[in-house]
Amino acid sequence: SYNQLTSVDRVEFPDSLQFLSLGENQLTSLSGVEFPDSLQELDLYDNQLTSLDWVGFPDSLTKLVLQYNQLTSLDWVGFPDSLQELDLSYNQLTSLDWVEFPNSLGYLGLSNNCIDPLSLSQEDRNFITTRNKKYLKSDFWISYIDYNNPSWMNEQYVCLWIEYNPSTSTSNPVTASLA
């Protein structure tokens, strides 16, 4: 942590390594990085990662921190079945299409991304609101609200924050009642 590393693709990590913190560096890619099979926690906080394409996460990984990067998509990312905590907060994600979260996941951080809750599949909504409501921290950015069709308010969100959004349309008030 706190170095100015731009790459770790040629680093040979010890076979017994269980925790690796590469936070606050300048990593732009993890392509070609070979993480040890013993790795349980990987912290990649505050780098410049834009993609996780071709990254092989070890099957033993239980915690993955990717806050404060520049990830725009998780298409085709394979998260290990052992993963229990995944923090993707403060990235530039716009969709969760094609993402398969492992059943073991107990915490999913998605705050401060640009994911429109209306774009989520019913399966993703069920996963987010039902299985993770105890641990989930999601602040969805809503870029457009159709005030003439307020059906999105009928969804049973655990928490809906409509702040820090790029929305420019505020001509009609939005009223929400959370029971």
Has residue 137 got a pLDDT over 50?
A: no
Q: Which residue in the block uniquely carries the two structure tokens 């998780």?
A: 74
Asked whether the predicted pLDDT for residue 65 surpasses 70, the reply is yes
More confident: 114 or 62: 62
Q: How confident is the model at residue 94 (pLDDT cuts 50, 70, 90)?
A: confident
Statement: the pTM of the whole predicted model exceeds 0.75: no
Nearest in space to 133 (alpha carbons), one of 163, 113, 159, 161: 159
> Residues of the chain with pLDDT > 90: what percent?
39
Beta-sheet strand order (sheet of 41-43) = 19-21, 41-43, 63-65, 85-87, 107-109
| Top-ranked range on mean pLDDT: pick from 9-13, 73-77, 171-175 | 9-13
Instruction: Give the residue from 149, 100, 142 showing the smallest Cα distance to 117.
Output: 142
Task: Pick 67 or 153 by higher pLDDT.
Answer: 67
Distance CA 6, CA 28 (A): 7
